[in-house]
Amino acid sequence: MRFAILVVGNEILSGEVSESNANYMAKKLTMLGHKVERIVVVPDRVEDIAEELRRLLRYDFVFVSGGLGATHDDVTAEGIAEALGKKLVHNDTVERYVRKWTDKREVINKISKIPAGAEVVENSVGVAPAFVVDKVAALPGVPNEMKDTFEKIVRRFSKEDYHVDYLRIEGYEENIVNQLHRVVEKFPDVEIGSYPKPGYVLVKFSGRDMKRVEEAKRYLESLLS
């Protein structure tokens, strides 16, 4: 499947907080054999969330992280509702979960409003639960809460064949450019990434067919020998 990830938060765009949620989800989805084809960061504004989400709906599924809390800038549920053309409604299941953590009416009312028809996913380590509506999942932005709810949701996607191998090459990337191009042309079904490190290059081979991944690695080795 083809996935996209939408990260919501002014604190990410300002550099106040280092973004780690998309990295975690992308690694997990990739290891399950899926493709993450877009990661987008937007501010805490309803119109920005809705605009970007509409673009990302061309993918099979979208994970949205952040903005589900009770403060004035937590507007992700509103943005998702606008993008999907749904009403924002009070959800009794969400209220029940939130009441386990607080009895503050303003917090309960704010968090409990989610898009109509959404499926609620309990957040076992924090106040705001996640929810799934159509092909969009909204997750809390706090990393441990995101992981808790993401792991519950990602189970519904089947694992597909995915194989990875690496080749360490001493020296610098510019010395292997021609050989890499030949491998990429010969193995279009294998994803090949080149990652320069201090004093060496790590080449990653990945794909659905283990034999083709191994063949691509051996072919590069032969070109370099």
Question: Who's near 189: CB < 8 A, 6+ residues apart?
Answer: 207, 208, 209, 212
Domains of the chain (ranges, CATH numbers): 2-154 (3.40.980.10), 163-224 (3.30.70.60)
Q: To the nearest 10°, the Cα dihedral for 51, 52, 57, 62?
A: -140
Give pLDDT, residue 160: 87
pTM: 0.88
Distance CA 100, CA 103 (A): 8
Give pLDDT, residue 108: 97
Question: Read out DSSP for 22-57?
Answer: HHHHHHHHHHTT-EEEEEEEE-S-HHHHHHHHHHHT
pLDDT in tens, the chain (225 residues): 999 999 999 999 999 999 999 999 999 999 999 999 999 999 999 999 999 999 999 999 999 999 999 999 999 999 999 999 999 999 999 999 999 999 999 999 999 999 999 999 999 999 999 999 999 999 999 999 999 999 999 999 988 889 999 999 999 999 999 999 999 999 999 999 999 999 999 999 999 899 999 999 999 999 998
Give pLDDT, residue 175: 93
Three-state DSSP state, 197: strand
Give pLDDT, residue 40: 98
Residue 48's φ and ψ, nearest 5 degrees, are -70, -45
